[in-house]
Amino acid sequence: MTPMSLAAMAASIPDGAMVALPPDNSIPSVALAKALIRRRARGLRLVGVPISGFATDILIGAGCVAEVNTSAVTLGEAGFAPRFSAALKAGTLVVRDATCPAMHTMLQAAEKGVPFMPLRGLIGSDILANRPDWMVIESPFGTGEKITLLPALHPDVAVFHAVMADSAGNVWVGRRRECATIAHASQRSLVTVERVVEGNFLEDERLCPGAINATYISGIAIAERGAQPSALLDEYGFDTDYVMAYARAAKTEAGFAEWCAEHVFDNQAVAAE
């Protein structure tokens, strides 16, 4: 698989696409999120896996997002996600609140090719009351248990960062297996990587368990430190200072615009080459 440019990858995601995006502890492709801002994507429907973080907040701030289906949007230690909160208040964003295992369950239903899967909990929560797409039944096994069925969620595109790709187009995400689930559940998977290496991870018993088969991967782009400010396994850590600075700047729309001009658009020439 020949790597593509970040810009071409961003261009291949149409406006309005449903995009599964893991949060800060789960190797999001912040590089691709920034490229989506540069291509001025609109109407994206983001899926938190199972929550949403920094990449989601900057996409919202830049006006790329119509809807978020997620269990939380947070900057972690840096506090509430400012552009998410502002967009909700302004009424320019729809949030479909869920709970973490519900996001996993809906994606696993898509992974398994079944139309729905059950999940315990939920009943009595206002989350459920606000999800007309979720359905409570009495168990058909005669136990009298009430249980919620969640429909399969099929994102158009899974977007994440990986440590590396191999010659065959397999990508290596280590223990971040939720990235495998979204790759399985989604129509296409677009993956940024630190580097491309020779060989085939599937033929290496040590690397194979952390690999995702190329059969699920639609495109690869090289983006060094492409998860930053999020962490990438043992390659680099979470950049708290960067996110703290973002959180302060993005408190206002003007502050966000300034941050974005500096941190998203000024880097364009470099990132797209």
> Judged by CB under 8 A, how many residues of this single chain contact other proteins?
72
Q: Please list, in sequence order, all residues whose beta carbon lies within 8 angstroms of the beta carbon of residue 20, skipping any fewer than 6 positions away.
A: 46, 47, 49, 107, 155, 157, 158, 159, 182, 185, 186
Q: Is 168 in the site for a copy of itself (CB under 8 A)?
A: no
**Which of these ranges, 37-45, 97-105, 250-258, 262-270, lies near other proteins under the rule CB under 8 A?**
97-105
Q: Is 111 in the site for other proteins (CB under 8 A)?
A: yes
| Footprint (CB under 8 A) of other proteins, residues 136-165 | 138, 144-147
User: Residue 5 CB, nearest distance to other proteins (Å)?
Assistant: 23
Q: Report phi then psi at 239, rounded to 5.
A: -95, 85
Cβ-based neighbour number of residue 16 at 10 Å: 13
Q: Is 212 in the site for other proteins (CB under 8 A)?
A: yes
Residue whose tokens read 């983001």 = 46
Cα–Cα distance measured from residue 258 to residue 263, given in angstroms and rounded to the nearest whole number? 9
Residue 65 contacts which entry, a copy of itself, other proteins, none (Cβ below 5-8 A, type-dependent): none
Q: Is 97 in the site for other proteins (CB under 8 A)?
A: yes
For a copy of itself, the closer CB: 6 or 232: 232
**Which of these ranges, 28-36, 157-165, 179-187, 261-269, lies near other proteins under the rule CB under 8 A?**
179-187
Residue 198 contacts which entry, a copy of itself, other proteins, none (Cβ below 5-8 A, type-dependent): none
User: 41-70 mask for other proteins (x: CB under 8 A)?
Assistant: --------xxx------------------x
Give 206-215's long-range contacts (Cβ < 8 A, gap of 24+).
207/172, 210/172, 210/173, 210/174, 210/175, 211/166, 211/170, 211/171, 211/172, 211/173, 212/162, 212/170, 212/171, 212/172, 212/173, 212/179, 212/180, 212/183, 213/170, 214/1, 214/168, 214/169, 214/170, 214/171
SS3 222: strand
User: Residue 98 CB, nearest distance to a copy of itself (Å)?
Assistant: 16
Q: Is 123 in the site for a copy of itself (CB under 8 A)?
A: no
**Which of these ranges, 33-41, 188-196, 212-220, 264-272, lies near other proteins under the rule CB under 8 A?**
212-220
Residue 118 contacts which entry, other proteins, a copy of itself, none (Cβ below 5-8 A, type-dependent): a copy of itself
Q: Which one-letter amino acid corresponds to residue 103?
A: M
What element of type H or E holds 165?
strand 157-165
User: Residue 168 CB, nearest distance to other proteins (Å)?
Assistant: 9
User: Residue 24 CB, nearest distance to a copy of itself (Å)?
Assistant: 17
